[in-house]
Amino acid sequence: MGQEVSLREAYGQTLLELGMENPDIVVLDADLSRSTMTHFFAQKIPERFFECGVAEQNMISIAAGLASSGKIPFASTFAVFAPGRCFDHRPAPAQCQNRGHPRRHHGGGGRQLAPVR
């Protein structure tokens, strides 16, 4: 049986292996590469690693742009940061995917967005 490693270490090593095989794979990280283990990729393939800082919403928009240009982006952050902050830039990736004609529906999501008078 193989050596036991943490899930995040397996993720980082697998990203590196995939990146060595496929030049279209790029990795983005939100200032957590030591925790998400994307530093393995950054050390070996720095030209395809993008450190986006503490700005998950920007990272996801960048990933959408890279994907629309034929790259295969892997955007890495902690699960707690990705869901809410990434909705800040939701229209931008939609415009990229729909050539400037986004098809969206915006609902309140169960919360009051503004006082009703």
What CA–CA distance (Å, rounded) separates 13 from 48?
15
The single residue of 4, 9, 47, 56 carrying the catalytic annotation is 56
Please enumerate in sequence order all residues whose Cβ is within 8 A of that of 65, keeping only pairs 6 or more positions apart, or say none.
Answer: 93, 96
DSSP 38-96: THHHHHH-GGGEEE--S-HHHHHHHHHHHHHTT-EEEEE--TTTHHHHHGGGTHHHHHH
Pairing of strands 72-76, 25-29: parallel
Active site residue 9: no
Query: What residues are labeled active site?
Result: 56
